[in-house]
């Protein structure tokens, strides 16, 4: 009797679970209201199957009622939309991940609000699908493979081929070069300081009063030279005028200089005077006759 009751309780619990699951699926698919159909075409490998939810801006508005596999590489999917929801005509359909177990859903996303809506049996254009867990896992595997390849190459170059040793040698050489540059800079700084000190001493040894006196004397000499130059220029101008007048032959000096006859007459006169002086010296009585009473 007790065993029979336990079996009966187990059957009832099992039936309740089955009814609950079937009822949930039935309610998820629209319950008593079957809704109206819309269609969308997706490429092979979208991962769609019957019963997956249809989301309108994140709200569950229906389910995937049927998926037909066509040989042209497309999945013709019929979406069952509840009658109290209207899909704006600006919407696009895309396959998005639903949960962490690889399940999919169809997301209807309008680009903007629009009072116009798709009519039953219309085909909704599709947009880019969101990568699912499988695609992300595949990309992660590809990235991991690339990272492993890079790591292996680095290990070979840096460890096996002696890259770390070469790097250390390069760092040591750089440090030595920096030290040499620092020593050169220090020596240049020391020499520059010594030069500045010598220049300050030489500058301090100069007497400002003597420098001022020398500058004043130079200025005075320059002024005198300018005045002398002006006087020489004036004298040169006067000489040019005199020479021009002499060359023109208008004055007495010019006539005397330019007339060869006058020169000859003067020479003859001088010669006569020389003869007269000689005759006076020779015969003074002829010219001087002094009588006393």
Q: Is residue 152 part of a domain?
A: yes
The predicted model gives 251-262 an average pLDDT of: 61
Q: Is residue 169 part of a domain?
A: yes
Per-residue pLDDT at 55 exceeds 60: yes
Q: End of a domain among 156, 183, 206?
A: 206
Residues 91 and 149 in one domain: no
Q: Is residue 183 part of a domain?
A: yes
In whole angstroms, give the CA distance from residue 99 to residue 46: 15
Backbone φ and ψ of 62, nearest 5°: 175, -160
- Per residue in 180-203, pLDDT (tens digit) is 878 888 888 888 888 888 877 777
Structure token digits, residue 279? 């005759």
Q: How many domains does the chain have?
A: 3
Per-residue pLDDT band for 290 (boundaries 50, 70, 90) equals very low
Q: Is residue 123 part of a domain?
A: yes
Show Cβ contacts of residue 61 under 8 Å, excluding neighbours closer than 6 positions.
Answer: 54, 55, 81, 82, 85, 87, 108
Q: Which domain holds residue 195?
A: 143-206
Q: Is residue 211 part of a domain?
A: no
Radius of gyration of the chain (CA): 65
209 versus 132: the higher-pLDDT residue is: 209
The predicted model gives 134-139 an average pLDDT of: 63
């Amino acid at each position: 009797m007790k065993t029979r009751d336990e079996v009966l309780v187990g059957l009832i619990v099992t039936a309740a679970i089955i009814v609950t699951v079937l009822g949930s699926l039935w309610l998820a698919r629209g319950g008593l209201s079957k809704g109206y159909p819309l269609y969308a075409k997706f490429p092979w490998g979208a991962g769609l199957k019957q019963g997956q939810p249809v989301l309108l801006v994140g709200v569950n508005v229906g389910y995937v009622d049927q998926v037909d596999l066509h040989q042209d590489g497309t999945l013709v999917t019929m979406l069952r939309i509840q009658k109290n929801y209207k899909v704006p005509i600006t919407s696009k359909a895309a396959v998005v991940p639903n949960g962490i177990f690889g399940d999919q859903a169809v997301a209807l996303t309008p680009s903007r609000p629009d009072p116009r809506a798709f009519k039953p049996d219309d085909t909704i254009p599709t947009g880019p699908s969101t990568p699912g867990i499988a695609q992300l896992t595949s990309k992660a595997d590809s990235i991991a493979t690339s990272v492993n390849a890079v790591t292996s190459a680095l290990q070979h170059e840096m460890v096996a081929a002696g890259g770390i040793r070469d790097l250390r040698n390069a760092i040591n050489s750089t440090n030595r070069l920096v030290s040499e540059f620092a020593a050169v800079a220090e020596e240049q700084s020391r020499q520059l300081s010594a030069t500045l000190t010598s220049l300050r001493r030489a500058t301090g040894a100069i007497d400002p009063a003597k420098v001022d006196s020398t500058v004043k004397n130079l200025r005075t000499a320059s002024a005198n030279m300018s005045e002398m130059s002006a006087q020489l220029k004036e004298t040169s101008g006067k000489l040019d005028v005199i020479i021009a007048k002499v060359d023109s032959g208008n004055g007495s000096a010019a006539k005397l200089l330019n007339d060869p006859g006058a020169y000859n007459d003067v020479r003859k006169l001088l010669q006569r005077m020389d003869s007269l002086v000689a005759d006076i010296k020779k015969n003074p009585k002829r010219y001087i006759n002094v009588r006393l009473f």
